[in-house]
Structure 1
């Protein structure tokens, strides 16, 4: 196979690293073209190391199953430019990682570090939190109702509800939640003109925008969680911060970098992805009143709404993997050290798997979406996210008579994690 058969056209490839393409939905047109014409092609983009682009559901699933062949730790698991990669390696003594979270680890470390908190996120433990979460959900619905029939659902409800839940589990005081929200938006939305921090010291992203990493944001996270960690070692409580602060691997305390990284991944991924899916759900319901009518008539469809909104929004758009040894996949010959981009939002609209993949159906069944990943790196917090969303809709839907858009919604500019950042709605409550 010659290079022209493998290479993705420059105009198509450019969208893969352009945060604006993820905000204005051009990325879905790009994915449609790739699945139809070059579902396992190579992107050669100035300023970025070449990478394979995986857009079919079946290929993403197969790669995710083989964690010994497709690695997280050898190179960055998120898209970065050559300039950013070089600067990170210089800062981190040769490591390609600014943080060392679960998404940066392979076996055997990944399993050991995942086990530290896994029990907290299992359904049997979460059942004990249901009433606390329901109380938070009711307060969120009351706040929405108090706006008088018009609000920005993302800013009034979707951002704050899951934030409050995960911060309570983690052990962050309520008065610090706004700070955590700001830092999360600055971390994941670094390339967004509204959400990104305006700072001089910033690790550059890929040409054309790409995934930017702001060292100032990470430093602020570290400073905050260092203080929290010190407190929990002195004053342990029944919260996740205490577990992380006092964790040991193979009889030794985990390093400061690993502890701070653990706090950051729980604090950020624990609410940002859930808020995006929650906002995406109401956006879809506002545009599809027939789907809202289905839910009003049959509340047993709420779990289906949750899964469909996660598929529909797919907050984590991409992850990168590195090939451990020469192999073949998707009809391509891959070499050791090759970089792959797994495009989850593409797999979740693959017509080979999903009927009417571009339509929002609350009664979609089965719904084999890939939004939580698969294999060893299956999202640790998936059960919490689903439970939070289910409870919110159980509280909101009986009171929501109608909803429609009251303006133009907007998505965040980001290649890695993105979702609705504004959602103006008009609604009636019963």
Structure 2
């Protein structure tokens, strides 16, 4: 289809664009080739530069002193960003690792880092495998047809991350709804409302829940991540209620929605590429590579923003201090300069230099957990899967930040569990 560079750039500020992957990637390909650093001026948004090449995004991620997360860590409409700045000035705004720069980022990140190191992952592996079996068994109970996205993909990683936090299963439905409202604020099916105030109300509900949790864990510490966060100290002082709640929000939401999108998108990719599904079933040793390819293929985090702390030049484009850039991860993960045949789904792709987890000091804290969850689920599912096909049209979430397939109707046959 014919498209101007200006039209292609504005698609990055249009949540609906992410529901049509072919059209989106046509736009991103055009930008990579003709305007890899392009000024976007879209209705309802403050201007930003779209950065679409892998090498340029890597250069920005490496230089975290020049390119700052604050004050604009993700793309939002101007009205929402204005409200967020006003709330921040009052000390009641969300302030997660995504919003922070060093040295604060380094100190706060360390609070939860031990819970995602190799030893902690080994300790959690049994629980993850147990949950993977539970959800494949549940697929068998559905009678050979289900919406894999809503009935399996959104629940499995949510149970994993909330188990790590130590939350009761009775609270999981509430967390699921809040997470979907947080990341689906531009999607008519999942959003609470259309205004900036409606979106901010979701954060306030998160805060209220986690403030109660913090008080409980401080009064009665337990052996879980929630207790570690609640009782953490920085320079001898406990975290504020807002900082504590913000930490919970990033763990509970980012640790769930990104993985659920990749679970659903990974199965969809295997259905759409039956030769790759057969190859993986014949050689299960390819599963670690297949998981990385699913992550590249889906790229659940669509963008992060950075703001220049000084005048600079990026790819021959001058950018002034205080101007912002959008790092397009779906574009980087289809960059022809980095990936051989980037629009092919290849479960044996090696090396796979995708940027779905970011790079540098802001590399995703839960990357190892996400990979373990994906490996566990597909290791349980594939040996039992006799057949699988689409039972309807998949639907994608309208979002400019985090998301993927929200409905994946499938028809399948499963062997009984061993």
TM bin, normalised by shorter chain, reads: over 0.9
Report deviation, 1:9: 4.0
- 1:291-316 deviations in Å (ceiling 9; x for gaps): 11011100001111110110000000
**Structure 1: any 5+ residue segments left out of the alignment?**
1-7, 205-212
SS of alignment partner, residue 133 of structure 2: helix
How big is the shift at 1:281?
0.5
Find the counterpart in structure 2 of residue 429 from structure 1: 414
Offset from partner CA, 1:379-407 (integer Å, 9 cap, x none) = 00000000111111111111012211110
The correspondence for 1:309, drawn from 268, 275, 294, is 294
Mapped pair 1:347 → 2:347: no
2:373 pairs with 1:377: no
TM-score when normalising by structure 2? 0.96
User: 1:292 & 1:247 partners in 2: Cα distance?
Assistant: 45
Query: How many Å apart are 1:94 and its aligned residue?
Result: 7.1
| 1:241 paired to 2:238 | no
State the alpha-carbon separation in 1 of the partners of residues 43 and 193 from structure 2. 25
Is 1:286 equivalent to 2:271 in the alignment? Answer: yes
SS in 2 for 1:355: coil
Moved over 3 A (4+): none
Distance 2:43 2:180 in 1: 27
The reply to whether residue 203 of structure 1 matches residue 188 of structure 2 is no
What is the Cα deviation at residue 326 of structure 1? Answer: 1.4
Tell me if the contact between 1:184 and 1:268 (Cα under 8 Å) persists in the aligned partners.
yes
Residue aligning to 2:97: 102
Among residues 358, 361, 364, which one is paired with 2:343 in the alignment? 358
- 2:77 match: 81
Aligned residues: 411
For 2:96 and 2:20, the matched residues in 1 are separated by 30
1:18 aligns with 2:17: no
| Deviation at residue 36 of structure 1 after TM alignment | 1.3
> Structure 1 CA distance, aligned partners of 2:337 and 2:5?
24
The aligned counterpart of 1:29 is 26
Contact 1:10 1:45 in 2 (8 A): no
Contact 2:8/2:28, CA 8 A, preserved across alignment: no
Query: How is 1:127-138 mapped onto 2 (pairs within 5 angstroms)?
Result: 127-138=122-133
Which residue among 159, 165, 177 is the counterpart of 1:164? 159
Q: 1:41, 1:52 within 8 Å by CA — same for their partners in 2?
A: yes
2:199 match: 214
Pick the aligned partner of 2:399 from 391, 398, 414: 414
> Following TM superposition, by how much is the alpha carbon of 1:14 offset from its aligned partner in structure 2, in angstroms?
2.3
Partner of residue 141, structure 1 = 136
Q: Please state if 1:227 is matched with 2:212.
A: yes
Out of 37, 40, 44, the residue aligned to residue 40 of structure 1 is 37
Distance 1:329 1:94, change over 3 A: farther
1:57 is the counterpart of 2:42: no
Task: Determine the C-alpha separation between the residues in 2 that align with 1:306 and 1:235.
Answer: 39
Structure 1 residue aligned with 2:281:
296
Question: Residues 114-166 of structure 1: CA distance to partner in whole angstroms, max 9, x if unpaired?
Answer: 00010000112110111111111100100011111111111111111100000
User: What is the alpha-carbon distance in structure 1 between the residues aligned to residue 218 and residue 87 of structure 2?
Assistant: 29
Whether the 8 Å contact between 2:54 and 2:332 is mirrored in structure 1 is yes
TM-score if structure 1 supplies the norm length? 0.93
Q: 1-side partners of 2:6 and 2:116: how far apart? A: 42
Q: Where does the alignment leave 5 or more consecutive residues of structure 2 unmatched?
A: none
